[in-house]
């Protein structure tokens, strides 16, 4: 937790917040913060700044906060990700959030098991919790927008054209296509397939929708490695 | 397991191998391979090729193998990584291996807890097992060389000059230095600090040793995200 993310209902007065639970425990146990100490804070979907510990008695923790800086600039990559296994889903969502991605579309594909869509991690609260962990790590405040598209055909036909309009469209496919470009300053859409890869039909449909097939080489990466490897490469910073 | 990694003592005759344990179970349960089926195989530190299932009775599994292709070209990045927490160590080693890194130096720094060096994952067998999982994922065969340097001062003074000779030296530091370059075709050394970051002294010493301070932006990434994000960016493919 490199930034303590504040919610509107944490405020108990003008510039005064009270924290309880996980965040209060973290400030006490990890930061070992005592009254007078300054910590990095940010308002969810708002500005960042400094919070000075006022009181740390009992279970409550109060801070005087001053919020004046903008959060880091959003990364102009729309991530189109084949729905990962529940086990890796949380890590991937946290990772994409920490890297500054603000639009994530999770979609179904031939090699995405239907059961993945029943994962309890997809519940709105859980998804939001994972993104908050990613923001706290990266010192960002702005939640990504996540959309779910269990069926590939309507996703590629109806959703993708609008979602990726005005962006350079890339689909990552190990060992196929050109070398993945890097440090792209303009908006990009990046599609990453499931474990086991896209089918030929899926690649055809994506190419038909304007996607360039790109690769990081012949090595096959796990989803949780491919997402940061490709996003880190594309960042214009 | 996208490639079944063979060891010299798996061979029971010319071009014939017998698998037991984890690999045999995987071939049966995940690949659901039956006699006659062809699977991707590779010899540890050697060539890659095809193995045809001959017999899958009982606990043993025999394959006829033909090994003629070179493994993927090594990635010319020497990774200098502040020793991570045991919990993330395994994932990071697997990840760097899957990305094709062949030289990894783990080093101590002010914010590396001394207890990390006592992790059971550092035992030679365990380390090797993690790298094998990374190779099997990426369809590579060549184990990285890993060296351990618990003390920062002798590492930066005595080891780094030789280890990084003839390479472009980069040290990643969130929010400081120039934008991290990308797709570098020549040898690179990349230093990544501990959670909590390098101290000013450590950065000074690395800059003194010829390292350029580079950044992926102001967002702070977890080690397991920073490693693939930076390596994916540097890959020349």
pLDDT at B121: 82
Between residues 22 and 51 of chain A, which touch chain B (CB distance below 8 Å)? none
Residue A176 touches chain B, beta carbons under 8 Å: no
Judge whether A188 is closer than 8 Å to chain B, CB to CB.
no
Q: Are residues B108 and B31 in the same domain?
A: no
pLDDT digits (tens, 9 = 90+) for B172-211: 998 889 999 999 999 999 999 999 999 999 999 999 999 9
Query: pLDDT over 90 for what percent of chain A?
Result: 86
Last residue of one domain, picked from the residues B69, B96, B125: B69
Given strand B212-215, what is the order of strands in its sheet? Answer: B145-149, B101-107, B75-82, B188-192, B168-172, B212-215, B178-179
- Among B139, B182, B221, select the one facing A182 at the smallest CB separation: B182
Residue of B100, B225, B233 lying closest to A233 (CB–CB): B233
Taking the CA of residue A157 and the nearest CA in chain B, the distance in Å comes to 30
B121-180 pLDDT, tens digit per residue, is 888 889 999 999 999 999 999 999 999 999 999 999 999 999 999 999 999 998 889 999
pLDDT score of B131? 97
CATH number of B199's domain: 3.40.1280.10
State the Rg of chain B over Cα. Answer: 20
- For residues A125 and A105, what is the distance between their CA atoms, to the nearest angstrom? 17
**Residue A119 pLDDT more than 90?**
no
Q: Residue B45 pLDDT more than 90?
A: yes
Instruction: List helix spans (H) across chain B.
Output: 21-29, 86-98, 124-138, 152-154, 160-163, 200-208, 223-234
CB-based contact, B20 to chain A, within 8 Å: no
Distance, in Å, from the CA atom of B110 to the CA atom of B112, rounded to the nearest integer, reads: 6
Range A34-44 average pLDDT: 95
Report the percentage of chain A scoring pLDDT > 70: 100
Q: Check if A100 contacts B (Cβ < 8 Å).
A: yes
Query: Does an H or E element contain A137, and which?
Result: helix A124-138
Handedness of CA B215, A232, A219, B11 (dihedral sign): positive
The pLDDT value recorded for residue A174 is: 86
Q: Any idea how long chain A is?
A: 237
Nearest chain A Cα distance for residue B29, angstroms: 16
pLDDT at A33: 85
Indicate the SS3 state at residue A45: coil
Instruction: Return d(Cα B36, Cα B66) in angstroms, integer.
Output: 14
CATH number of residue B53's parent domain: 2.40.240.20
Chain A nearest-CA distance from B234, in A, is 7
Q: What is the DSSP letter of B143?
A: P
State the Rg of chain A over Cα: 20
Picking from A69, A98, A120, the residue at the C-terminal end of a domain is A69
Task: Convert the pLDDT of each residue in A204-233 to its tens digit.
Answer: 999 999 999 999 999 999 999 999 999 999
Same domain, B30 and B122: no
- Comparing CA positions, the residue from B133, B127, B183, B129 lying closest to residue B2 is B133
Residues A155 and A216 in one domain: yes
Reported as a single tens digit per residue, the pLDDT across A153-182 is 999 999 999 999 999 999 999 888 999 999
Question: In terms of residue numbers, what domain contains B180?
Answer: 75-234
Which positions in chain A touch B95 (Cβ < 8 Å)? Answer: 222, 225
pTM listed for this prediction? 0.95
Q: How many domains, in total, are found in chain A?
A: 2
Do residues A25 and A114 share a domain?
A: no
Residues 6 or more apart whose Cβ sits within 8 Å of residue A47? A67, A68, A69, A70, A71, A141
């Amino acid at each position: 937790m490199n930034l303590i993310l504040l919610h509107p209902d944490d405020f108990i007065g003008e510039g005064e917040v009270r924290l309880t639970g996980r965040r209060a425990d973290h400030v006490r146990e990890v930061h070992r913060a005592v009254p007078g100490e300054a910590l990095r804070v940010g308002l969810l979907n708002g500005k960042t700044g400094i919070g000075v510990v006022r009181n740390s008695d009992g279970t409550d923790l109060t801070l005087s906060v001053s919020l004046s800086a903008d959060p880091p600039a959003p990364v102009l990559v729309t991530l189109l990700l084949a729905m990962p296994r529940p086990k890796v889903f949380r890590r991937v969502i946290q990772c994409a959030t920490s890297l500054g991605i603000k639009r994530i579309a999770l979609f179904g594909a031939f090699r995405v098991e239907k059961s993945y869509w029943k994962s309890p991690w997809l519940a709105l609260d859980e998804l939001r919790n994972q993104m908050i962990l990613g923001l706290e790590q990266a010192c960002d405040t702005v939640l990504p927008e996540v959309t779910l598209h269990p069926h590939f055909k309507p996703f590629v036909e109806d959703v993708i054209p609008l979602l990726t309009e005005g962006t350079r469209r890339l689909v990552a496919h190990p060992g196929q296509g050109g070398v993945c470009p890097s440090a792209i300053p303009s908006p990009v859409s990046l599609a990453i397939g499931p474990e086991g890869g896209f089918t030929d039909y899926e690649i055809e449909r994506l190419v038909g929708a304007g996607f360039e097939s790109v690769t990081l080489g012949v090595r096959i990466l796990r989803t949780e490695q491919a997402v940061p490897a490709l996003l880190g490469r594309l960042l214009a910073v």
